[in-house]
Amino acid sequence: MIENKMAIVYHEPEGEVVSRSGDDCIVALKFQWMLSYGEENWKNDVKNHVESDKFKTYNPKTQEEFVKILDWLREWGCSRTAGLGTKLPWDDTFVVESLSDSTIYMAYYTVAHLLQGGSLNGENPG
């Protein structure tokens, strides 16, 4: 039907979207950068680790959940134009979206004390 131009592809959000401040939102489909979490090699690296004896979840249900998600996860938007964030290195009209931005902060935490010069509010550079 689409080929014969008798129908068009139509998407709409699953439910109403309301912002934290309580306003109704309008959802728009706009250009943005995606990470392809479904890519086979990348996925298999993670999958091998999750299923190895070097990774523990303390609970078979949690383990099951991780394995399931690995097969479900595909492209994921990793950029946005509003709010605070780190600029995308290859496109500075975008900043890194917060979920993606927070995935390796534990590595940063190991050195943060050296960069913050002993103060938490940024009064001294490290």
Partner 1 sequence: MTMNAWDYVFLGRDYIEAECPGVTEKQLQAMRHEFEYWYPMDLRVSGKDLIRNHLTMSLYNHASIWHENQEQRMTRSYFCNGYLMLNNQKMSKSTGNFMSLQQCLKQFGVDASRVTMADAGDLLDDANFDIKVANASILKLFILEEWIQKHCPKSFDWNAVADSKNSEDKFGWDRIIDSEIDRIVKIVTESYAGMKFKNVVKHGFSELKDLKEAYLIAMQG
Residues that bind partner 1 (CB under 8 A): 35, 37, 42, 45-46, 49-50, 54-59, 61-62, 65-66, 69-70, 72-73, 76, 99-100, 102-104, 106-107, 110-111, 113-115
Positive or negative: CA dihedral 98, 69, 89, 93: negative
CB of 14 to partner 1, least distance (A): 15
Minimum CB distance to partner 1 smaller for 27 or for 69: 69
Minimum CB distance to partner 1 smaller for 4 or for 59: 59
User: Does residue 55 come out as left (phi exceeding 0), alpha (psi in the -120 to 50 range) or beta?
Assistant: beta
Q: Strand 79-80 and strand 87-88: pairing?
A: unpaired
CB of 4 to partner 1, least distance (A): 38
Minimum CB distance to partner 1 smaller for 10 or for 58: 58
CB of 89 to partner 1, least distance (A): 8
CB of 24 to partner 1, least distance (A): 19
Q: Strand 79-80 and strand 91-96: pairing?
A: antiparallel
Minimum CB distance to partner 1 smaller for 81 or for 86: 86
Closest C-alpha to 74, from 44, 35, 45: 35
Question: Maximum Cα–Cα distance for the chain, whole Å?
Answer: 67
Q: What phi, psi does 24 have (nearest 5°)?
A: -70, 140
